Structure 1
Amino acid sequence: MKKYSFKVLFAFALASIAFTGCKNSSGSRDTSRTTGWKINAREGGFQYNSNFREQETPPGTVFIEGGTFIKGKVQDDVMHDWNNTPTQQHVQSFYMDETEVTNREYLEYLDWLKSVFPPDVPKNRNIYIGALPDTLVWHNRLGYNEVMVNNYLRHPAYGNYPVVGVNWVQAVQYAEWRTDRVNELILEREGFLERNTGIAAYNGETQGGTFSTETYLNTPSDTYGGRIDSLQGRVKRDSVNVFAKRQSGLLSPDFRLPTETEWEYAASALVGKREYNNYRGRKKYPWNGEYTRSGKRRFRGDQLENFKQGTGDYGGIAGWSDDGADITAEVKSYPPNDYGLYDMAGNVSEWVADVYRPIVDDDANDFNYYRGNVYMKASIDENGKVQVIDPNTIVYDTLSNGKIVIRDLPGQLATVPLNEDDTYLRTNFDKSDNRNYRDGDPGSTRYFNLFYGESEDSDDPNKRMYNSPLHSVRRDSLGNIVKDYDKTNGRTTLIDDETRVYKGGSWKDRAYWLDPAQRRYLPQYMATDYIGFRCAVSRVGAKAKRNKTPRNVGPKS
Structure 2
Amino acid sequence: MQYYKLLSALLLVGLLIQCKEEKKSSDEKDVNAPMSEVVESKIDTTPILVEKPENIKAPEGMVWIPGGEFIQGAVPQDKMAMDHEKPAHKVKVDGFFMDITEVTNAQFAKFVKETGYITIAERAIDWEEMKTQVPEGTPKPHDSILQPGSLTFKKTKTSVPNLYDFSQWWNWTIGANWKQPNGPGSSIKGKDNDPVVQVAYEDALAYCQWAGRRLPTEAEWERAARGNKPESIYFWGDDDTVLSQMANTWEGEFPVNNSKADGFEQRARVKSYPPNDFGLYDMAGNVWEWTSDWYNTNYYNELNAINGPVVNPQGATNPYNPNMPYAREKVMRGGSFLCNASYCASYRISSRMASSLDSSLEHLGFRTVATVSMLKEDK
TM-score when normalising by structure 1:
0.44
Distance 1:81 1:139, change over 3 A: closer
What's the secondary structure of 2:211's corresponding residue?
A: helix
Provide the residue aligned with 1:62 in structure 2.
Answer: 63
Provide the residue aligned with 1:290 in structure 2.
Answer: 239
Provide the residue aligned with 1:149 in structure 2.
Answer: 183
The residue type paired with residue 98 of structure 1 is: I
State whether residues 314 and 325 of structure 1, in contact with CA within 8 Å, keep that contact through their aligned partners in structure 2: no
State how 1:80-479 maps to structure 2 within 5 Å: 81-114=83-116, 127-128=117-118, 130=120, 136-138=150-152, 140=154, 148-150=182-184, 154-156=188-190, 158-179=191-212, 255-270=213-228, 273=229, 282-293=231-242, 303-312=245-254, 315-316=258-259, 322-358=261-297, 359-360=299-300, 361-362=302-303, 363-364=305-306, 366-371=310-315, 435-436=317-318
Give CA-to-partner distance per residue, 1:126-180, whole Å, 9 cap, x none: x535485976433649689998424655412x1110111101111011100111x
State whether residues 307 and 506 of structure 1, in contact with CA within 8 Å, keep that contact through their aligned partners in structure 2: yes
Provide the residue aligned with 1:493 in structure 2.
Answer: 323
Provide the residue aligned with 2:18 in structure 1.
Answer: none
State whether residues 135 and 165 of structure 1, in contact with CA within 8 Å, keep that contact through their aligned partners in structure 2: no
Q: How many residues align?
A: 268
Q: CA deviation at 1:344?
A: 0.2
The residue type paired with residue 291 of structure 1 is: D
State whether residues 251 and 262 of structure 2, in contact with CA within 8 Å, keep that contact through their aligned partners in structure 1: no
Provide the residue aligned with 1:387 in structure 2.
Answer: none
Q: Matched residues in 1 for 2:209 and 2:185: separation?
A: 27
Q: Please identify the structure whose Cα radius of gyration is greater.
A: 1
Q: CA deviation at 1:306?
A: 0.6
The residue type paired with residue 264 of structure 2 is: A
Q: CA deviation at 1:497?
A: 8.0
The residue type paired with residue 361 of structure 2 is: T
Q: Matched residues in 2 for 1:335 and 1:366: separation?
A: 31
State whether residues 119 and 203 of structure 2, in contact with CA within 8 Å, keep that contact through their aligned partners in structure 1: no
What's the secondary structure of 1:293's corresponding residue?
A: helix
What's the secondary structure of 2:107's corresponding residue?
A: helix
State whether residues 153 and 163 of structure 1, in contact with CA within 8 Å, keep that contact through their aligned partners in structure 2: no
Matched, 1:510 2:340: yes
State whether residues 351 and 533 of structure 1, in contact with CA within 8 Å, keep that contact through their aligned partners in structure 2: yes
What's the secondary structure of 2:151's corresponding residue?
A: helix
- Choose between structure 1 and 2 for higher RCO, CA contacts under 8 A separated by at least 6 residues: 2
Q: CA deviation at 1:354?
A: 0.2
TM-score when normalising by structure 2:
0.63
Q: Matched residues in 1 for 2:258 and 2:155: separation?
A: 22
Q: Matched residues in 2 for 1:367 and 1:507: separation?
A: 32
What's the secondary structure of 2:349's corresponding residue?
A: coil
Q: Matched residues in 2 for 1:160 and 1:151: separation?
A: 19
What's the secondary structure of 1:69's corresponding residue?
A: strand
State whether residues 314 and 508 of structure 1, in contact with CA within 8 Å, keep that contact through their aligned partners in structure 2: no
Q: CA deviation at 1:539?
A: 2.9
The residue type paired with residue 218 of structure 2 is: E
Q: Matched residues in 2 for 1:96 and 1:540: separation?
A: 14
Q: Matched residues in 2 for 1:534 and 1:314: separation?
A: 29
Distance 1:533 1:151, change over 3 A: farther
Q: Matched residues in 2 for 1:338 and 1:304: separation?
A: 13
Q: CA deviation at 1:66?
A: 0.9
Greater percentage in helix: 1
Q: Matched residues in 1 for 2:257 and 2:279: separation?
A: 26
Q: What percent of counterpart residues are identical? A: 31
Give CA-to-partner distance per residue, 1:267-298, whole Å, 9 cap, x none: 1112xx5xxxxx6xx2111113422417xxxx
What's the secondary structure of 1:500's corresponding residue?
A: strand
CA RMSD of aligned residues (A): 3.1
State whether residues 55 and 540 of structure 1, in contact with CA within 8 Å, keep that contact through their aligned partners in structure 2: no
The residue type paired with residue 366 of structure 1 is: V
Q: Matched residues in 1 for 2:185 and 2:223: separation?
A: 34
Matched, 1:528 2:361: yes
Bigger Cα displacement from structure 2, 308-317 vs 64-73: 308-317
Q: CA deviation at 1:529?
A: 1.0
